[in-house]
Amino acid sequence: MIHAPGLQRGFLGRGFMMLIVIVLLGMLFLAVTKPSEDDFHTWTRANIQAGEDADLLERALALTVRTQARLETSYRDYAIFAIVETRMADRRRRFLGITGQWIQIEDSQ
């Protein structure tokens, strides 16, 4: 068999190997930037506080929701993303955690 350095090596050619490297780097990026359960609780507290007015009743309700969210939260780690299921204010909500952000994907009563 003659070896020609400029020819592709079939299935494991340079293009395929480059694709594998890009996919692996992408997966590594997603794994490193996946938010943690503590990140979710911090994000939840920040969103509740941002929506509060000066009304004392609303602040008490927000504190109750924050406590309930911490107690009724299920965090599932899928290596490159996370799913959080929680009950807040009598609603079941699901969030997708990816690239350091939380995205609500379900809201049901």
- 63 pLDDT band, cuts 50/70/90, is low
pLDDT digits 0-9 by tens, 10-41: 566 888 889 999 999 999 999 999 999 999 98
Tokens found for residue 74? 């299920």
- pLDDT for residue 14: 84
Percent of the chain at pLDDT > 90 equals 41
Q: Indicate whether this model's pTM tops 0.85.
A: no
